[in-house]
């Protein structure tokens, strides 16, 4: 008899489960169809049913649900005081949805997204002012600590630092801690941007080889460009926040105070040297100490670059160049090789050694074809040489065609500087010979060779 009762219980449980699953599938389908036509009011009830009864059925419960709740919040807020209670209800439910998302879909397509989910929850807390800066920071920090790899959305990443910076301004965080956090998050931004650059480089190399892109590759190129631009913009905003604090007057005594306890810490030494270099504090004796300690402790691409910088300041040009080249050789990542090459190119540009500057800018482009600023640097080198190249006024102004061409290349490969590059190209094209000049001189179709360091030629446009 007991066995019979057990069998009956199991069968009835299975029948109930089957019925629940069918109901969930039906509700999922109904809510999804309403969602697609943006009829969120009708989608709400079946969505809540499937969310409650079958929370692991489909990730759309959370991706679609997030957008629905955001829409409800917006509509409620548009009603002013009359919608405050509803807005608050939906805001709290959105936070709850993220908690449920974390439990039921912590991975997506084989990739852990814990950091993404938690950081997006923290961003909601920022957007709707739902907690104190300390509480919000703790949520961001949890995301970063538990799953740094998927914490790559630039807006939450930026706000992770911004709320921490506000804690610093309120006296709850030391200057030392705010610099440490800045270095940590800016490095993460660079990793994210470098990841997009590597993907773009593959596509650009294929284009340069004359191969046609698939529709997916074209779509990816646009997506990588948009994401890279967004990340670069937020990184610039991050740098703007810390700019007033990271002056030589603040950095030097801070690093001097902490040097003794960090003299065997290569991460700290590298960050300190990097910050002093970027803020033009490298004339201070402390920079020399940092670089020597870093190189003796752990010879690296960065320490070799800094030694090149020190020799540059002393006027030891050959030794400086030797260290610069060593820096590139020691680096194993092509994006970082490109970054070092670009820095060296910039140093030579400042020293008015334009041929060397172009050499290293081209080297940077070999390592990273999507580095538009290297093309832009070459463009500016050509423009700066216009008066020194060519025998006639027409020929000198023709240099600007070369300069504009390089700027156009910058715009075509690097969406992060596209607007600047286009404006630069238009400016240089405006300085080149006009159609009237070409007609008057009778130079249409003529090839003009530049015997100066540029060593290139340009064909005058036909009328």
pTM comes to: 0.87
Q: What angle do CA 302, 175, 129 make, to 5 degrees?
A: 110
The yes-or-no verdict on residue 288 having pLDDT over 80 is: yes
The yes-or-no verdict on residue 417 having pLDDT over 90 is: yes
> Which of 200, 222, 245 corresponds to the end of one domain?
245
Per residue in 347-361, pLDDT (tens digit) is 999 999 999 999 999
The yes-or-no verdict on residue 412 having pLDDT over 50 is: yes
CA distance 142 to 366: 39
CA distance 449 to 143: 58
pLDDT number for residue 298 = 85
The yes-or-no verdict on residue 3 having pLDDT over 80 is: no
User: DSSP label at 107?
Assistant: E
pLDDT number for residue 19 = 60
Look-up of token digits 């939450």: 156
pLDDT number for residue 21 = 80
pLDDT number for residue 12 = 40
pLDDT number for residue 390 = 83
Contact 432, 397 (CB under 8 A): yes
Q: Across all residues in the chain, what is the average pLDDT?
A: 92
Average pLDDT (115-137) is: 97
CA distance 370 to 209: 14
> Which of 196, 228, 245 corresponds to the end of one domain?
245
Contact 100, 55 (CB under 8 A): yes
The DSSP result for 404-450, as a single string, is HHHHHHHHHH-GGGHHHHHHHHHHHHHHSPPHHHHHHHT-TT-EEE-
Quote the distance between the C-alpha of residue 193 and its chain's center.
3
Percent of the chain with pLDDT over 70: 96
Q: Is residue 10 part of a domain?
A: no
CA distance 370 to 415: 9
Contact 335, 197 (CB under 8 A): yes
Per residue in 262-286, pLDDT (tens digit) is 999 999 999 999 999 989 899 999 9
pLDDT number for residue 18 = 53
Q: Is residue 457 part of a domain?
A: yes
Q: Is residue 207 part of a domain?
A: yes
Contact 444, 460 (CB under 8 A): yes
pLDDT number for residue 365 = 97
Provide the domain count of the chain.
Answer: 2
Mean pLDDT check: name the lowest of 6-20, 23-37, 85-99, 392-406.
Answer: 6-20
Average pLDDT (33-57) is: 96
Q: What angle do CA 168, 173, 174 make, to 5 degrees?
A: 100
pLDDT number for residue 82 = 85
Q: Is residue 352 part of a domain?
A: no
Per residue in 295-320, pLDDT (tens digit) is 999 889 999 999 999 998 888 989 99
Contact 421, 372 (CB under 8 A): yes
CA distance 292 to 259: 13
pLDDT number for residue 14 = 40
Of 306, 293, 286, which Cα lies nearest the Cα of 266?
293
Q: Is residue 419 part of a domain?
A: yes
> Which of 214, 245, 276 corresponds to the end of one domain?
245
Average pLDDT (323-348) is: 94
Give strand pairing partners of 107.
Answer: 112
Q: Is residue 294 part of a domain?
A: no
Q: Kindly report the backbone phi and psi dihedral angles of residue 94, in degrees, each rounded to the nearest multiple of 5, phi listed first.
A: -65, -40
Q: Is residue 396 part of a domain?
A: yes
Average pLDDT (362-389) is: 97
300 Ramachandran zone, left/alpha/beta (phi>0; psi -120 to 50): beta
Instruction: Locate 101 and state its tokens.
Output: 């998302």
CA distance 405 to 415: 16
The yes-or-no verdict on residue 391 having pLDDT over 60 is: yes
The DSSP result for 158-224, as a single string, is HHHHHHHHHHHHTTSS-HHHHHHHHHHHHHHHHHHHHHHHHHHHHHHHHHHTTPPPPHHHHHHHHHH
Q: Is residue 151 part of a domain?
A: yes
Domain of residue 238, residue span? 146-245
Per residue in 154-166, pLDDT (tens digit) is 999 999 999 999 9
Per residue in 169-200, pLDDT (tens digit) is 999 999 999 999 999 999 999 999 999 999 99
Instruction: Locate 139 and state its tokens.
Output: 């949520």
CA distance 275 to 245: 12
CA distance 348 to 319: 14
pLDDT number for residue 313 = 86
H or E element: which one contains 108? strand 107-108
The yes-or-no verdict on residue 17 having pLDDT over 70 is: no
Where is pLDDT greater, at 78 or 15? 78
């Amino acid at each position: 008899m007991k066995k019979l009762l057990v069998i009956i219980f199991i069968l009835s449980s299975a029948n109930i489960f089957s019925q629940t699953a069918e109901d969930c599938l039906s509700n999922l389908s109904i809510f999804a169809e309403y969602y697609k036509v943006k009829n969120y009011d009708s989608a709400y009830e079946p969505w809540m049913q499937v969310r409650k009864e079958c929370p692991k059925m489909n990730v759309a419960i959370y991706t679609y649900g997030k957008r629905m709740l955001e829409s409800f919040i917006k509509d409620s807020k548009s009603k002013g005081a009359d919608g405050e209670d509803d807005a608050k209800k939906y805001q709290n439910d959105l936070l709850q949805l993220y908690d449920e998302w974390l439990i039921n879909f912590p991975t997506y397509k084989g990739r852990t997204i814990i950091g993404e989910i938690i950081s997006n929850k923290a961003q909601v807390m920022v957007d709707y002012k739902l907690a104190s800066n300390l509480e919000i920071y703790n949520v961001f920090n949890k995301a970063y600590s538990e799953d740094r790899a998927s914490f790559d959305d630039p807006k939450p990443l930026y706000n992770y630092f911004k709320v921490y910076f506000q804690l610093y301004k309120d006296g709850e965080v030391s200057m030392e801690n705010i610099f440490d956090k800045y270095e940590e998050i800016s490095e993460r931004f660079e990793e994210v941007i470098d990841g997009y650059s590597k993907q773009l480089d593959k596509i650009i190399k294929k284009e340069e080889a004359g191969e046609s892109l698939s529709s997916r590759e074209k779509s990816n190129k646009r997506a990588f460009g948009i994401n890279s631009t967004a990340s670069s913009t937020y990184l610039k905003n991050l740098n703007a926040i810390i700019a007033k604090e990271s002056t030589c007057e603040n950095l030097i005594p801070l690093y001097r105070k902490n040097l003794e306890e960090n003299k065997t810490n290569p991460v700290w030494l590298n960050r300190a040297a990097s910050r002093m270099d970027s803020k033009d504090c490298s004339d201070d004796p402390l920079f020399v100490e940092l670089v020597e300690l870093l190189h003796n402790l752990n010879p690296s691409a960065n320490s070799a670059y800094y030694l090149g910088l020190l020799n540059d300041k002393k006027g030891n040009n050959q030794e400086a160049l030797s260290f610069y080249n060593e820096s590139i050789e020691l680096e194993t990542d092509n994006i970082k090789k490109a970054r070092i090459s670009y820095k060296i190119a910039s140093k030579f540009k400042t020293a008015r050694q334009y041929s060397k500057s172009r050499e290293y800018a081209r080297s940077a482009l070999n390592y990273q074809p999507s580095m538009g600023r290297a093309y832009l640097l070459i463009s500016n080198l050509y423009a700066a040489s216009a008066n020194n190249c060519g025998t006639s006024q027409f020929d000198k102004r023709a240099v600007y065609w070369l300069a504009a061409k390089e700027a156009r290349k910058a715009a075509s490969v690097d969406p992060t500087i596209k607007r600047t590059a286009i404006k630069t190209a238009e400016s240089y094209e405006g300085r080149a010979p006009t159609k009237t000049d070409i007609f008057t001189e009778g130079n249409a179709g003529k090839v003009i060779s530049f015997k100066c360091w540029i060593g290139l030629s340009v064909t005058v446009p036909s009328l």
